[in-house]
Amino acid sequence: MSTLRPDLAGRLADALECSWGARARPNQLPPPGDWAIWLLLAGRGFGKTRTLSEMANAWATSGLAKRIAIVAATASDCRDVVVEGESGILATAPPWCQPIYESTRRRVRWPNGAIAHTFSAEEPERLRGPQHDAAICDELGSWRDPSTWGMLMFGLRLGKHPRVVVATTPRPTRLVRQLLAREGRDVVVTRGTTYENRANLAPGFFAQVIRKYEGTRLGRQELNAEILDDVPGAWWSLERLEEAR
């Protein structure tokens, strides 16, 4: 049986170590098919930010996307979580294609010329005008202004097949429910729980937080990633309110 030379074996090991596909769980990898929107509904600590960051880096470094939109609930979420966070774009980029974050221009620039601009969901008008061929959206369920989503969609007009990856804890907002209703058409939905990433979370998190909220209504949403449509004891259900809207 032939063996690899030590230098080649080392390079292969480095490549595998840097390969997200070799380390990610199956539901953290993009689904097959001709989807336009990938909606990842998952609990706290699942690894949603890591998934978004890896997608942005994969698009940029492979040349599949050259103009990417990064949209989060606030400008600080874009910067502190998606770009500069522990699982953000800068931390997860491959060493051979490290991007630079230009904070004053609110953009991430890769050596091959790919660019990602950051946007706050609080400022939908800033998405009026810019064009993109891909987008990543963080915590869609926390966006206060749903018109941000519409402005983003209007700008996805570059390339042959613009795509969007949305990662959020499944709060029962109207926008989240609208995307769920499109499952099987242009939206692919992936679900995941906090428990799946237990090996990478601090033991104290499970000892304190999980023990406190496990089995509660809040825990079902934040940990198990369940869509909870109604508040127990409420006079009006969300379904009836939507019918009367």
What is the reported pLDDT for 245?
Answer: 52
Task: Report the C-alpha gap between 142 and 31 in whole angstroms.
Answer: 24
What is the reported pLDDT for 87?
Answer: 93
- Contact between 71 and 82 under an 8 Å Cβ cutoff? The reply is no
Q: CB neighbours of 177 closer than 8 A, spacing ≥ 6?
A: 227
Q: Which of 44-53, 132-141, 202-211, 217-226 has the highest mean pLDDT?
A: 132-141
Where are the domains positioned within the chain? 32-244
* Res. 19: pLDDT tops 60: yes
What is the reported pLDDT for 2?
Answer: 45
Q: pLDDT class for 240, splitting at 50, 70, 90?
A: low
Percent of the chain with pLDDT over 90: 52
What is the reported pLDDT for 81?
Answer: 96
Q: pTM value?
A: 0.79
Q: pLDDT class for 242, splitting at 50, 70, 90?
A: very low
- The CATH homologous superfamily of the domain defined by 32-244: P-loop containing nucleotide triphosphate hydrolases (3.40.50.300)
| 159 φ/ψ angles, rounded to the nearest 5 degrees | 75, 175
Q: CB neighbours of 84 closer than 8 A, spacing ≥ 6?
A: 90, 91, 101
* Residue that has been written with the tokens 């810019």 in this structure: 130
Tens-place pLDDT, residues 136-171: 999 998 999 989 999 999 999 999 899 999 999 888
What is the reported pLDDT for 212?
Answer: 62
| 85 φ/ψ angles, rounded to the nearest 5 degrees | -70, 170
Q: How far apart are the first and last CA of the chain?
A: 70
Burial 87-96 (b: 16+ CB within 10 A, else e): bbbbebbeee
